[in-house]
């Protein structure tokens, strides 16, 4: 495999590491060319990689009404024989009142208009589009927010959303890079409200749950997040890609993360045991 990744962020960097660990060659772009990455604006170097890549993955989010990667390198991508892939968002489904959504659900009805347009543009080019919900993992989880004192609970009624551990995104993308073109939801098996997840993280750390905050006290962007309510189905990825999340619920994922930073916990607190039975 010769993989070119546009945008070496949190998730894409872990995908790059997994491909390299498997013996593949990887190049990735950044805006500043940090480390050994390609500078996104270095068109000659990027086009050389496009021409020699077997697979190309974009994790670059869209701007207003445009996709930076397609704008800059669309012609070169159209001419390559490489298999294309794109990291999208389950936000393209918008609000469905807490119902389950799969890849057959319409997109473009929510607040993520630019993301929906980019999602559709990559699908039109024959890409494998991986739609991702809330991402958590090492250094980026409710456990970290609890330790930092920045976690909060929100008075947001019955709002529910899906999430996924970053390592499960890596395994899903690797399973799908050679799959048929199309959209694939990569999400865990247990959608849940934010408050339940925060409370579970607090219990793991032996801390009191953080205070409840009124929805109106949040920023407009955060309020927009709570205005959407959905459960994301992952059946297609399981059937077609043979993928299974290693962390099928946030409880598995948070316990694993906590074990790497708090190995001293030898027994399960009563509140954790009760939660795991629900």
**What pLDDT shows up at residue 109?**
82
CA distances to 103, 136, 232, 268 from 249, rounded to whole Å, are 20, 12, 13, 17
For residue range 121-179, what is the model confidence (pLDDT) as tens digits? 999 999 999 999 999 999 999 999 999 999 999 987 788 999 999 999 999 999 999 99
**What pLDDT shows up at residue 272?**
58
Task: List alpha helices for 113-155, DSSP H.
Answer: 113-124, 142-148
Beta bridge partners of 232: 101
For residue range 17-28, what is the model confidence (pLDDT) as tens digits? 999 999 999 999
Domains parsed from the chain with CATH numbers: 82-277 (3.40.50.720)
**What pLDDT shows up at residue 28?**
97
| Closest CA relative to residue 163, chosen from 274, 60, 257, 66 | 257
């Amino acid at each position: 495999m010769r993989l070119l990744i546009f945008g070496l962020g949190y998730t894409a960097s872990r995908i790059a590491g997994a491909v390299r660990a498997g013996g593949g060659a990887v190049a990735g772009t950044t805006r500043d060319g940090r480390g050994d990455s390609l500078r996104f604006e270095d068109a000659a170097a990027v086009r050389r990689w496009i021409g020699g890549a077997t697979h190309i993955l974009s994790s670059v989010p869209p701007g207003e009404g445009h996709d930076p990667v397609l704008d800059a390198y669309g012609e070169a991508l159209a001419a390559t024989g490489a298999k294309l892939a794109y990291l999208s968002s389950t936000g393209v489904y918008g609000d469905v009142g807490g119902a389950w959504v799969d890849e057959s659900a319409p997109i473009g009805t929510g607040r993520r208009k630019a993301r929906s347009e980019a999602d559709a543009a990559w699908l039109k080019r024959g890409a494998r589009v991986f739609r991702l919900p809330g991402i958590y993992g090492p250094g980026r989880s409710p456990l970290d927010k609890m330790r930092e004192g920045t976690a909060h609970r929100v008075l947001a009624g019955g709002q529910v959303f899906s999430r996924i551990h970053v390592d499960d995104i890596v395994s899903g993308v690797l399973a799908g890079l050679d799959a048929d073109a199309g959209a694939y939801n990569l999400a865990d098996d247990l959608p849940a409200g934010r408050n339940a997840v925060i409370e579970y993280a607090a219990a793991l750390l032996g801390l009191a749950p953080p205070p409840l905050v009124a929805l109106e006290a949040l920023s407009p962007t955060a309020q927009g997040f709570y205005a959407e309510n959905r459960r994301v189905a992952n059946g297609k990825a399981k059937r077609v890609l043979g993928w299974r999340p290693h962390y099928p619920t946030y409880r598995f994922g948070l316990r694993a993360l906590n074990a790497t930073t708090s190995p001293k916990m030898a027994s399960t607190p009563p509140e954790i045991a009760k939660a795991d039975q629900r």
